[in-house]
Amino acid sequence: MGLMFSGIGVSRGIAIAPAYVLRRNQPDIINQTLKKNQIPAEVRRFKLALKSARVVLQKLSDDIPKNAPEDVSSFIETHLLMLDDSLLSQRPLEIIKDQRCNAESALQIQRRELEQVFSEMEDPYIATRMDDVNHVIDQIMRELTSHNKDETPEHDWQGCVVIADDLTPADTLIMQNEGVAGFVTETGGPLSHTAILARSLGIPAIVGVHNIRDYVVSGENLILQGESGMVLAQPETYMIAEYKKQLRMLRERQRDLRKLIDTPVVTDDGVPLNLLANIEIEEDLKSLKKVNADGVGLYRTEFLYMNREDIPSEQEHYKVYSKVVRALKGAPLTIRTADLGADKEVETQASGPLAHNPAMGLRGIRLCLSDTSLIVPQLQAILRASTKGPINIMFPMLTNVYEVSQCLELLETVKARLLKKKIKFDKNIKVGGMIEVPAAAIAADLFARKLDFLSIGTNDLIQYTLAIDRIDDEVNYLYDPLNPAVLQLIKNTIDAGKKADIPVTLCGEMAGDPRLVRVLIGLGLTDFSMPPNSLLEIKRALNNSNVKKLQKLTNALISSSTQQEQQKIMKKINAGL
């Protein structure tokens, strides 16, 4: 009789292979109190470990194959940059001197301080960056504690499913080069760099399977189902046969999807649809081109503000936006102004103590309106770049119409400033707003009267509506995109757009989930924006749909009162997928 484990599926695919249980010997950290004359030597020892860690990571970067995805080199580069950050290169030295402790203790103290800061961050993407900090700290710690640095552990994990407590992006790259079948980790989340890299490299992966190493041994047969997050240990013969059949079907489906790259998106009953992409960094543009997206429905710009002490200049913004809009060659680009706040800290005139609940505090457009120095250079740069191609401006986290009016007035002030300087821009640039707060969705008709388009951000909308944090293990089972209240808010926003005759796009994770996009069609949505690697599968799901039938089924879904009834309706909605 086999065992079944459940976790978070972060990279689709099926693996049928023996297990390789990876157990790293974590060094014991002995706290030592130093004499004053010992401190300079300990400082030198830490600096040497920092230098050695850089050599290890740089060698890994140099050994990356030329045909590897660009995500690989960017993640390793991120870790190299972290070694230069004062929080890792200088703060431990201060602790060594102030507390007269050894380098290992100082590094561990700094790790705990950073974990406390990251644990208070609400944005799931930023919060999971602590994974990368830990990976870099572990590398420094290994250099501090290693007695034989020429010794390299040998792995024989080719064709295996690797099971570990956690994996670094470097581990993931090595495993891909050595042909692992998949991996499972006890910790981690769907937005960690390791998870993102697994998706990019096409390695089936599951994270968050707590304590699996207590029950599985190396060599034991496993089935890994990346989409459902399920792991089967010692499966029966008939299970292996069934999953081998599914694996063949999956490979055939992936070949078929590539045939859809140049296929227009039209439902069975003739309704044309638009599939746009969400992007965050320049490298995302290459993924976008591979799937022939209709444009960019959400360009997140927070990266320009991160990991720096000053605010990006207008010229910095302008250079980045100009490059992106030129690369799109006439396809539309929607730039969201910076969605900053307590979870993505920047030093501003309005900054104060860390909010008790950052998600409810001074964030998004609230912060930018309270300190316009954050947003004015960005607006000026967007307007200037609008002469190079079709650009839309989108404001985040709007909660009331008064905020919309403030944004529009500020934009007019910026336009007047550019006109006075005789700087050209698109005078008819479209302006939209994110609907990601329940209050905004309920009053969407008021927003639609003032804006040129609306964009629904379901990630925050679902969390705010259901009062849960989707990355909190204690309550994330309540994260339900199909909750009738959530569906009604989405429908209300779409209906408001139709009534005002303005476009409505959905750019949250729901748009990239093939199990949910037909529900969105039933709610009246025709414009979707998603991660580029989801686009072809979404195209297949939408091309084989019928709007009239889905409208009836979705109305029934909103009215469903039991989980069993909901599942029955969803089965009909996704028939044929």
Instruction: Give the CA radius of gyration of the chain.
Output: 25
> 386 in helix, strand or coil?
helix
- Say whether 393 sits in a helix, a strand or coil: strand
Q: Any idea what DSSP says for residue 214?
A: G
Per-residue tokens: 488:
């009604």
Cα separation, 515 vs 266, whole angstroms:
18
Residues 6+ apart with CB under 8 A from 38: none
Who contacts 24 (Cβ-Cβ below 8 Å, separation ≥6)? 164, 165
| CA atoms in the 13 A half-sphere facing the CB of 410 | 24
Max Cα–Cα distance, the chain, nearest Å: 81
DSSP at 167: -
- C-alpha 229, offset from chain centre: 18
For residues 230 and 166, give the distance between their C-alpha atoms in angstroms, rounded to a whole number. 17
**CB-CB contact of 101 with 90 (8 Å):** no
In the block, which residue shows the tokens 């900090």? 133
8 Å CB contact between 140 and 53: yes
State the Cα–Cα distance between residues 505 and 494, nearest whole angstrom.
Answer: 8
**Cα gap 399→386, rounded to integer Å:** 27
Residue the block writes with tokens 């407590």? 165
Token pair for 215: 């029950």
Helix, coil or strand: residue 426: coil
Cβ-based neighbours of 55, under 8 Å, separated by 6 or more: none
Name the token pair of 92. Answer: 């431990």
In order of 306, 361, 365, 542, the CA distances from 513 in angstroms are: 29, 30, 28, 11
* 296, 280 Cβ separation under 8 angstroms: no
Backbone φ and ψ for 170, nearest 5 degrees, come out as -65, -45
- The closest alpha carbon to 526, from 551, 499, 506, belongs to 506
Catalytic residues: 193, 507
Amino acid letter for position 87: L
340, 364 in Cβ contact below 8 A?
A: yes
Which H, E and C letters describe 8-68, residue by residue? EEEECCEEEEEEEECCCCCCCCCCCECCHHHHHHHHHHHHHHHHHHHHHHHHHHHCCCCCC
CA angle 451, 384, 289 (to 5 degrees): 80
| Alpha-carbon gap, residue 261 to 279, rounded angstroms | 19
Backbone angles phi, psi at 168, to 5 degrees: -85, 160
Identify the burial level of 156 via C-beta atoms within 10 angstroms of its C-beta, where 0-12 means exposed, 13-18 middle and 19 or more buried.
exposed
